[in-house]
Chain A
Amino acid sequence: MRTGVFVCWCGLNIGGVVDVPRVVQEISGYPGVARAVDYRYMCSDPGQQLIKDTIREERLDSVVIAACSPGMHEATFQTVAESGGVNPYRCEIANIREQCSWPHQNEPGKATRKAVELIRAAVEKVRGDEALSALSIPVTRRALVIGAGIAGMQAALDIAEAGHEVVLVERLPHIGGHMAQLSETFPTLDCSQCILTPKTSEVGRHPRIRLVTNSEVESVSGYVGNFTVRIRRRATYVNWDLCTGCGLCTEKCPSKTPSAFERGLAKEPAVTIAFPQAVPHKPVIRAEACRHLTSGKCGVCEKACPVGAIDFEQQDLLLEEKVGAIVVATGYDLHPKAKVGEYGYGVYPDVIDGLEFERLNSASGPTQGEIRRPSDGKVPKEVVFIQCVGSRDQENGYPYCSKICCMYTAKHARLYKHKVPDGQPYVFYMDIRAGGKGYEEFVQEATDEGVLYLRGRVARVFQDGDRLVVFGVDTLSGKKVEIHADMVVLATAIVPASGAKELARTLKLATDRYGFFSEAHPKLRPVESLTRGIYIAGCAQAPKDIPDTVTQAGSAAAKVLALFSAERLSHSPTVAAVDEELCSGCGVCVEACAYDARTLDVRRRVAVVNDVLCEGCGTCAVACPNGATRQKNMARSQVLSMIDAVVG
């Protein structure tokens, strides 16, 4: 064996603690080491050249790079090794930064010794490494997008425009997400529907987008490039193939209950099209509200429909789709009512949340865009807006900042002032977070227009006659303040969409403790999940506004397109393998594998590894009672000699 050892200083990161020349000197004499050299930045171009030159000069057949975590540069050095003529799987990394110089900054002597030991172990490992070649897997160039808010629609459009088919699954009967509920949008105050409908109709008619609404993903199997997805389309009780969207049924339906789209501020019939611009423009029957479906009576809509599209017998439909990539864009919900007891949210009708305010201000909303309070329809003359409700409140809500409420509260206060010029808006805030193009200017205009900002939180809101009493504080003047208001608007925390955690389980994705999907790296891989082939976009990942959502959706689409740019993908060959002579077919490994990569061949009674599903984690190798499982390039003998190199 002729191994080259390349020790990196990483500037002072390693070199400031570990005595690098000494390490080189000690490792030079180690069995199998043909040459050891050091360099200031091994990942730099000259560093890489040094490796390639040394491989040639010393006719190396394997290399060990002693540097930072393999998570950072393993791929870099594998490529360098390969271009120098060494099999990339005979290139090993000894992590002497994260596992040595950083944690042992105060003990340079011991750190130096540990660096030598880590390198020796890597040399032992590389000694047993086989020359392998990457596996290759086919890619189905079709994408699934879950959630059709602005994030999901944008990602779907970008992928479809690039020439690939997209299956877009939306839980609600219509697409558009929360943007469809907004009235006007910061920082430009353009009408939300006006900028949204071009997108919804484009999605609705795009030849390469298969829209599946009123549906949810039930199961997902497979792996990057080759997912199989099962989707349940819930019964709508209306045959959409026949339905012309004329809406006669919705006019005739006698059973009216609160509308979720209007956030309970208006009622809608049991057979309903949630709003005029809805795409698809087809009604659904809400089973829980329908008299026919709950008690067998009524059936008025059936008689009203001129084309006989009402179908009370309709069943859920199970669809199966094959896709190569998945984008999760399930968006957000608002902090639930029951949890804001001190503000009487859910108890006093005139204490509302931000989305309810959007509906009050919306031309197609319950008040045709006039600001009238829910209890008695009066135009409120004094309105208190409270920010950070449930946000930045670890004790009674969530510790995080919801990011968008400072901006939309400024927007609400201004919109209110525009519609009720003699009204007085007050905003209780803790800090104004208005970083963004044109954002700070937008907030300053609010104060110019007469919005009064008070710096402090509110302790309590209660009803007194037909007004609401607000106990607040203004910490800038050091005064406790009491405001008697006609309406109170709460900027409640943004939380993940209901069901996000369940979906994460279905997709085997990680979320944070609140249920926001976790990105692979908070800075460098913000749209990738930890599972290859699955991407995240929009508020499903964290609270954000429309510009950020659209940006992230575009970048998720770009990742999908990169994946689809080749017909085949490569997959690491360092997977598990079965020695069929030793395997008894007991199936312990099948149970142990977290990636469903193992099956039992019943006929031959041996375990089989699906190479492309195998992540090389090694769980099966440990679980196998017969020693029949081998992890390629992590053989038992390799591990034992690594241990010997360290302790012996």
Chain B
Amino acid sequence: MGYSYFPGCTLRAKARGFESSALASARVLGIHLEELANWQCCGATFPLQVDNSFPLVSPARTLASARRMGERLVTLCSACYNVLKRTNHVMRTDADRRDKVNAFIEEDYRGDLEVVHFLEVLRDDLGFDALARSVKVPLSGLAAAPYYGCLLLRPADELAFDDPEAPHILEDFLSALGCRVVDHPYKIECCGSYVALEPGELASGPSRMVVESARARGARVIVTSCPLCQYNLDVSQQGAHGRNGAGVPVIYFTQLLAIALGLPEDVLGFEGHVISPGPLLRSIGAMGSEATA
């Protein structure tokens, strides 16, 4: 199973653990991810202005160069997935904008690439049954709440990732690792996204609702594939909200994957959490007492 692979900026900076855990896991699972030779930031958010195609230039350039390496491009970060897949959709279906962008990047790229999320690789190519068989350290009974947020699910007609109102890929993934899946209604609600940058903690309202919805149903960990969700959900528990050990750590799905595959702790790369995942992971024997978290 070979794919070209787009890491994105956040995975090379604040979310290193996301990437290191994913790459290490992929290696063990026989999934070959070959990093694109030339990639640039995807832009982090898909532009919603139709009279300005400039923000499409950078993701389109990435797509065109990925096309030369093969037919499928894998991403880990939900935002990269969303932006690249939506840009690809434009390049495939909107002749006008395609021509504009192609003229600028001096390519003739027509969207004939498939952008896939690493979760889809695990589900469709490896298979969750096979994944379950590869598990070395079953996370038996770990109460884990999936959190999708927006970028994986919407717009459903373009992404076609999962049922936008009742997705289950993360649940199936967590079950394969042996977790006890905690279903909660806010798994598809927005965390507040970039409104986090607004003064006065405006985004923390929605994020708190998400955390509360998972916590109240017994979740001990929230699992995501988006660095911004991870940040927002985690930061919303700052101070009073995460008091008395009531906080729920928010981690990447690949970090749980690496733990279940029995990979060494150093690939996990937990850093700068408000609610540290350390105590939880030590309690389930996934990390030793000298942990870095």
- Chain A interface residues (CB < 8 Å from chain B): 341-342, 344, 347, 460, 462-464, 469
B163 touches A463 (CB 8 A): no
- A464–B214 Cα distance when bound, in Å, is 11
The reply on B13 being an interface residue by CB < 8 A is: no
Q: Does B70 contact A (CB under 8 A)?
A: no
Report whether A463 and B165 are in contact in the complex, using a CB–CB cutoff of 8 Å.
no
A341–B185 contact, CB under 8 A?
Answer: no
B150 CB, nearest partner CB in chain A, Å:
14
| Smallest CB separation, B36 vs chain A (Å) | 36
| Nearest chain A residue, comparing its CB with the CB of B188 | A460
B240 located at the interface, meaning its Cβ lies under 8 Å from any Cβ of chain A in the complex: no
B residues 43-102 near A (Cβ < 8 Å) are none
Nearest first, the 4 A-B pairs at minimum CB distance are A341-B165, A462-B185, A342-B165, A341-B166
Which residues of chain A come closer than 8 Å to B164, judged between CB atoms?
Answer: 341
Q: Are the CB atoms of A469 and B185 closer together than 8 Å?
A: yes
Q: Mark B102-145, 1 if CB is under 8 A from A, else 0.
A: 00000000000000000000000000000000000000000000
Closest chain B CB from A430 CB (angstroms): 20
Q: Which residues of B contact A469 (CB under 8 A)?
A: 185
The answer to whether B166 touches A347 (Cβ under 8 A) is yes
Q: Write the B165-190 contact mask toward A (1 if CB under 8 angstroms, else 0).
A: 11000000000000000000100000
Q: How far is the CA of A341 from the CA of B163 in the complex (A)?
A: 9
Q: Secondary structure at chain A's binding surface: helix, strand, loop or mixed?
A: strand
Q: Number of contact residues on B: which range applies?
A: under 10
B159 to chain A, nearest CB (A): 16
Which residue of B has the minimal Cβ distance to A469?
B185
Shortest Cβ distance from residue A335 to the other chain B in the assembled complex, whole angstroms: 15
Chain B binding surface, main DSSP class: loop
| Residues of chain B lying within 8 A (CB to CB) of residue A460 | 165, 185
CA distance A463 to B165 in the complex (A): 13
Residues of A within 8 Å of B166, CB to CB, are: 341, 344, 347
List residues of chain B with CB under 8 Å of any chain A CB: 163-166, 185
Q: How far is the CA of A347 from the CA of B166 in the complex (A)?
A: 10
| Distance (whole angstroms) from the CB of A348 to the closest CB of chain B | 11
Q: Are B185 and A464 in contact (CB under 8 A)?
A: yes
Q: What residues of B have a CB within 8 angstroms of the CB of A462 in the complex?
A: 185
The chain A residue with its CB closest to the CB of B164 is A341
Name the residue of chain B whose CB is nearest to the CB of A342: B165
Complex: A342 Cα to B165 Cα, angstroms:
6
A462 to B213, CA, bound (A): 12
13 contacts between A and B (CB under 8 A): A341-B163, A341-B164, A341-B165, A341-B166, A342-B165, A344-B166, A347-B166, A460-B165, A460-B185, A462-B185, A463-B185, A464-B185, A469-B185
Complex alpha-carbon distance, A469 and B212, angstroms: 15
Given contacts A341-B163, A341-B165, A469-B185, 10 further A-B contacts (CB under 8 A): A341-B164, A341-B166, A342-B165, A344-B166, A347-B166, A460-B165, A460-B185, A462-B185, A463-B185, A464-B185
Q: How far is the CB of A165 from chain B (nearest CB, A)?
A: 52
Distance, CA A341 to CA B165, complexed state (A): 6
Separation in Å of the B248 CB from the closest CB of chain A? Answer: 18
Rounded to whole angstroms, the CA-CA distance of A342 and B166 in the bound complex is 8
Give complex CA distance A449, B5 in Å. Answer: 63
| A461 to B, closest residue via Cβ | B185
In the bound complex, CA of A462 to CA of B188 (Å): 12
Q: What are the residues of chain B within 8 A of A341 when measuring CB–CB?
A: 163-166
CB distance from B282 to the nearest CB of A (A): 32
Identify which of B163, B164, B166 gathers the most chain A CB atoms within 10 Å of its CB: B166
Query: In the bound complex, what is the Cα–Cα distance between A206 and B166 (angstroms)?
Result: 52
CA distance A344 to B165 in the complex (A): 9
Report the separation of the CA atoms of residues A463 and B166 in the bound assembly, to the nearest whole angstrom.
13
| Min C-beta distance of B71 to chain A, whole Å | 31
Distance (whole angstroms) from the CB of B210 to the closest CB of chain A: 13
CA separation between A228 and B280, bound complex, in Å?
76
Roughly how many angstroms separate A462 CA and B185 CA in the complex, as a whole number?
6
Chain A residues contacting B165 (CB-CB under 8 Å) are: 341-342, 460
Tell me the nearest residue of chain B to A343, going by C-beta: B165
Residues of A within 8 A of B163 (CB): 341
Q: How far is the CA of A463 from the CA of B217 in the complex (A)?
A: 12
* Of B163, B165, B166, most A-chain CB atoms within 10 Å: B165
Q: Complex Cα distance A463/B213, Å?
A: 11
Whole-angstrom distance between the alpha carbons of A284 and B185 in the complex? 43
Complex CA gap A469/B186 in Å reads 12
Nearest CB in chain B to that of A395: its residue: B157
Residue of A nearest to B183 (CB): A463
Give Cα A460–Cα B164 distance, bound, in whole angstroms. 12
Q: Looking at the assembled complex, report how far the CB atom of B221 sits from the nearest CB atom of chain A, in whole angstroms.
A: 21
- Distance in Å from the Cβ of A481 to the closest Cβ of chain B? 16
User: A469 to B165, alpha carbons, bound, how many Å?
Assistant: 15
Q: Give the distance in Å from the alpha carbon of A469 to the alpha carbon of B166 in the complex.
A: 16
CA distance A342 to B163 in the complex (A): 10
A460 to B165 CA separation, bound complex (whole angstroms)? 9
Give Cα distance in the complex from A344 to B166, angstroms. 9
Q: How far is the CB of A397 from chain B (nearest CB, A)?
A: 14
| CB proximity of B62 to chain A, nearest CB, Å | 31
Chain B residues positioned under 8 Å from A463 (CB to CB): 185
Output the nearest chain A residue to B213 by Cβ-Cβ distance: A464
Residue numbers in B under 8 Å from A342 (CB-CB): 165
How far apart are the CA atoms of A342 and B156 in the complex, in Å?
13
Q: How far is the CA of A463 from the CA of B163 in the complex (A)?
A: 18
Contacts of B185 in A (CB 8 A): 460, 462-464, 469
Chain A nearest Cβ from B181, distance in angstroms: 15
B21 to chain A minimum Cβ distance, whole angstroms, is: 31
Question: In the complex, what residues of B have CB within 8 A of residue A464's CB?
Answer: 185
Complex CA gap A594/B166 in Å reads: 47
Q: What is the minimal beta-carbon distance from A62 to any residue of chain B, in angstroms?
A: 57
- Taking CB atoms, residues of chain B closer than 8 Å to A347 are 166
Cα A342 to Cα B185 in complex, Å, equals: 11
Residues from chain B with a CB closer than 8 A to the CB of A344 are 166
Shortest beta-carbon distance, A492 to chain B, in Å?
A: 16
A313 to chain B, nearest CB (A): 45
